[in-house]
Amino acid sequence: MSRAEKVGLSLLSYCKTLGNLNQIHAFVYKSGLETNPLIAGKLVILGALQISDAIDYARRLLIHNPNPDVFMYNTLIRGESQSDSPKNSVKSFIYMLRQSYSPPDSFSFAFVLKAAANLRCLTTGFQLHCQAMTRGLDTHLFVGTTMISMYAECGFVEFAWKVFVQIPQPNVVAWNAILTAYFRGSDVSGADKVFGLMPFRNLTTWNVMLAGYTKAGELERAEELFLKMPSRDDVSWSTMIVGFSHNGCFDEALRVFRELVGSGSKPNEVSLTGSLSACAQAGAFQFGMVLHAFIEKVGLVWITSVNNALLDTYSKCGNVLMARLVFERMLGKKTTVSWTSMIAGFAMQGYGEEVIKYFHEMEESGTRPDGVTFISVLYACSHAGLVEQGHELFSKMTETYDIEPSIEHYGCMVDLYGRAGQLHKAYNFVVQMPVPPNAIIWRTLLGACSFFGDIEMAEQVNKRLSELDPDNSGDHVLLSNIYAFAGKWKDVAMVRRSMAEKNLKKIPGWSMIEIDKVMYSFVAGDKRNEITEEANNKLREIMLKLKVKGGYIPEVGSVVHDIEEEEKEDTVSKHSEKLAVAFGMARLFKGSTIRIVKNLRVCKDCHSFMKLISKVYGLEIVVRDRSRFHSFKEGSCSCRDYW
């Protein structure tokens, strides 16, 4: 090996950036080493696989090489298959077929089939399958396994099975691929059959089954399988935690995390973010703090994704000050997700001015906002009544950042005008949208009509909704409420009759509260047990005190039935958030902040009820409903008003 070759290889071993690659390439060219297979191959590896922004450079290196070998082609095809533009991988494969004297090998097909899988392009997959058959590589173990995954990604499990049975001696990787294929096709029973047929299994096999069951919502079967596993790794634990969390079983997710720590295993990035996600969705503030302390203790604060999840947890638990502390203490550069999570936290609390401030700081830091960032900013403007700022930011999104508005952005603008009482402006905005408005857009406007009592426009909007989503019970309930508030009981009866004929049922309201790191759930009208009995007894005591000392009079306007006032009072007294707050007052230490998560919007009576409790009992209550946070303190709420 010549001195120039040794120097070139040494330089390549230290190459980290595209700038370095340019300089080394210049040295290679001046030294006459550009045709050296080893040096040329190393240059392509760096450009295609190791330097994030150098894939185009790697492509030019290969094209200008007078005699690229199969290895160089395979390296480029592999890099492009993993890039944001996997279509280029197919183009490079075609170029290889046309230009190279060396035929593609099994690696060539495996890498380009991966690109076809990422593209989910069945036509390309078929053509590659045919090319592999002509070269006798379709039954090759490596190629066949990748082909199974390709057909699975394209949604053709039956083709994946046909490929699988043609492989002479499938190994455990091939078996796992066909097992995954059945789960991708949502065929759980098919996956069960494959699992039963497998002559050998490894830990990946069990993890594939776990992931498949949790994704399909088969949580009992997943837990049963989890208990039978001969061994478990980080993926096993993380799959169970994330699976429970994504399926709304937050208490179970936190239980599994406790078991993980108790088993002596060390939680990883995925299990921690999954557990924090469960805390965020359930409003488990206390458990979130325990996780925070654990993260600090084991020294994982340097992981950006964990910090982002922690930030999101505090934001969704209603403690935006803790979220800001995490944000300010984050090590390294804050990502778009970090800034967006912080902005979303302030937005949910109704701090419109703070959101605008952080958005400008994000811009000044050089971090580019994305579509999700603008959804949070527009949401904040809507809830804070910042109509002009919201309009300017909506324009800035397209004009400055060239972000095409999605249906969610249009929905934020409708909400912005609707909450400001500009119903006709909101309606005109909807009908002039460049994309067809969906049911959510019209539903947002219907909510505004409900608040401002515009029956005429509500009926007009409801006609549009009935065309798009005729079986949505929430729309019928909302229209029924509008009629009820106006005292139009005949119209209420008509809507209710229509719901009965279509067999539509109102979504039951539930509320969750965390006591001593355990989540308790309350549902209005649920069966009595020791917990609900304790909550009801405490609630009766609270009601009596509020009526005597706070002058509480139930706002029965939120009850949409034409019944006696006493019955209406009994109806509103059983709302789930009232039971949750009563239970919290019975169980928590005096002076503790009560944090509640509710799946529906807090009604007017419960909103007034919480304000009175905070005043009479001197408590701080934080309620997160489906719309936003309500922080009750000293008889007032953090929101501008109930709307």
Decide if pLDDT at 639 tops 80: no
Helix residue ranges, H only, 432-502 = 439-452, 455-468, 473-485, 489-501
- Rounded Cα–Cα distance for residues 590 and 617 (Å): 10
Nearest by Cα to 318 from 294, 284, 295: 284
pLDDT tens digit sequence for 603-614: 888 888 999 999
Strand partners, 522: 511
Helix H or strand E segment including 259: helix 250-262
pLDDT tens digit sequence for 541-574: 999 999 888 888 876 554 544 434 444 445 556 7
With H, G, I as helix, E, B as strand and everything else as coil, classify residue 229. coil
Residue 394's pLDDT band, with cuts at 50, 70 and 90, is: very high
Decide if pLDDT at 130 tops 60: yes
Q: Residue 560 has what pLDDT? A: 47
Q: Residue 569 has what pLDDT? A: 46
Residues 425-450, buried b or exposed e (16+ Cβ, 10 A)?
bbbebbeeeeeebebebbbbbbbbbb
Decide if pLDDT at 171 tops 90: yes
- Rounded Cα–Cα distance for residues 57 and 609 (Å): 65
Q: Residue 462 has what pLDDT? A: 85
β-bridge pairing 629-633 and 636-637: antiparallel
Are the C-beta atoms of residues 504 and 473 closer than 8 Å to each other? yes
Residues in the chain: 643
Mean pLDDT of the chain: 88
Q: How many CB atoms lie within 10 A of CB 199?
A: 7
pLDDT tens digit sequence for 291-334: 999 898 888 888 889 999 999 999 988 888 999 999 999 887 89
Q: Residue 477 has what pLDDT? A: 76
Q: What is the dihedral of CA 463, 468, 474, 480, to 10 degrees?
A: 10
Q: Residue 557 has what pLDDT? A: 54
Q: Residue 554 has what pLDDT? A: 78
Question: What share of the chain has pLDDT > 90, as a percent?
Answer: 53
Q: Mean pLDDT throughout 445-473?
A: 85
Q: Residue 573 has what pLDDT? A: 66
pLDDT tens digit sequence for 205-234: 999 999 999 999 999 999 999 999 999 998
The strand order across the sheet containing 629-633 reads 518-523, 510-515, 594-598, 620-624, 629-633, 636-637
112: left (phi over 0), alpha (psi -120 to 50) or beta: alpha
Decide if pLDDT at 643 tops 70: no
Q: What is the dihedral of CA 321, 323, 329, 332, to 10 degrees?
A: -150
Helix H or strand E segment including 315: helix 304-316
Q: Residue 163 has what pLDDT? A: 95
First to last CA, the chain: 77
- Rounded Cα–Cα distance for residues 606 and 612 (Å): 10
Higher pLDDT, 165 or 560: 165
- Rounded Cα–Cα distance for residues 75 and 110 (Å): 12
Q: What is the pTM of this model?
A: 0.71
Residues contacting 593, CB < 8 A, separation 6+: 619, 620, 621, 622
Q: Residue 566 has what pLDDT? A: 41
Question: What share of the chain has pLDDT > 70, as a percent?
Answer: 95
